[in-house]
Amino acid sequence: MHSIYKYLILAGVLLTLPNLVLADDLNGANTAWILSSTALVLFMTIPGLALFYAGLVRSKNVLSVLMHCFSITCLASIVWLVFGYSMSFSDGGVLNQWLGSISHNLFLSEVTRDSLAGDIPESVFVMFQMTFAIITPALVIGGFAERMKFSAVLWFTLLWLALVYFPVCHWVWGGGWLAAMGVLDFAGGLVVHLTAGVGALVAAIVLGKRQGFPNTPLPPHNMTMTVTGAGMLWVGWFGFNGGSALAANGDAGMAILVTHISAAVASITWMTIEWLKYGKPSVLGIVTGMVAGLGSITPASGFVGPLGAIMIGLSAGIICFSATNFMKRTLRIDDSLDVFPVHGVGGIIGTLFVAVLVASQYGGVGLADGMTIASQLKVQLTAVLAVLVWTAIASLIILKFIDLICGLRVNDEIERNGLDISEHEEKGYNI
């Protein structure tokens, strides 16, 4: 009987010390957290973003948007497996400043059960980063919703990942030239939000306006669906930002805290501005403000404290609201689901603000050795301009190329009838 008790006690001790029974350098707690974060980030795209976007379009295009999100998830996953991870995170040799190796880790040939990325399995790191490569082109579809051919969407996703996302990811996170400069982008203000925003803006300009824009109202067909998706995005963003610490530690905890604060402040700010300006607080406004706050805090989430989160959330609510109105009412650019003014502008806000709010006197983690606020701001501004210009030029070339090989936009009749029936021979609602 005593021996049984001994074994039970020993088992209890081992359960409280998981690292004792794992490989020497593998951290079980960190691995578990990144596994959870990976699921949360994938949850952001399907179903979160899919429902958020689908509710914002008209009922005749609801399946089209859902199909875009689902197919992009599949295609981006395969491309990441084949060469995306290698291009983003491997050593590119003499070209490493600009691009990782295209062939070094082809088909994840170097990734095994025992290979590690830091103190987590490399397979977990691969999958976590894959979810970022999935959601970024999925965000872009908001710029051309309700008017791009499905075949063009697939071609755009493939080429855009290869020419925009993978290179920029390498510049910032894979040891490229921006990383060498000391750029701060914790979870993707540059890599995800700015690239997606600029890509969507270029696509919206190249494809042109939807029929009726801006004189005919094009309201969301199902705000219930949109709010449901928005809630999923908010929850999933904890994995997006908190998981980017790549550890279950204080950085992850603070990243989640500031993410939540920024989203809440931006939501209330956007709602209040709308209330004062138009006399009514809209549901669309409060959820759009939430996304602006989440996108803006993303690059800063691992570097700032609660005060920084309040400042970023407040700025995101004001600036992104103004940018949205300016684009639609003044410039009359039909970025259908406001990707650039929310994600693009939001990414810029967070990327620039972090240069100041990272300072310890504002509650941040402190500037890197040898850096001042001015020098860090210079690095951040350089990164914003470089990513913006590269993404704009590459996106334009890709869109023009696709237009030559298969055409970009559906014809007028298809657009009037809706892409659900015309492109997929299905209806979202049979009532």
The CATH fold assigned to 36-424 is Ammonium transporter fold (1.10.3430)
Total H helices, total E strands in the chain? 19, 2
What would the two tokens of residue 80 be?
């990441």
pLDDT of residue 323: 98
What's the whole-model pTM score? 0.92
H/E stretch holding 117 reads strand 116-117
Q: Is 4 exposed, middle or buried (0-12, 13-18, 19+ CB in 10 A)?
A: exposed
pLDDT of residue 24: 56
Amino acid 237 reads: W
Amino acid 154 reads: L
Return d(Cα 232, Cα 236) in angstroms, integer. 6
pLDDT of residue 6: 47
pLDDT under 70: residue ranges of the chain: 1-24
* Angstrom distances, CA of residue 225 to CA of 64, 139, 288, 349, 421: 15, 17, 14, 28, 20
pLDDT of residue 238: 98
pLDDT of residue 222: 97
* Angstrom distances, CA of residue 213 to CA of 130, 335, 336: 36, 11, 10
Nearest CA among 152, 139, 130, 184 for reference residue 356: 184
pLDDT of residue 50: 98
Tens of pLDDT, residues 335-368: 999 999 999 999 999 999 999 999 999 999 999 9
Return d(Cα 352, Cα 383) in angstroms, integer. 10
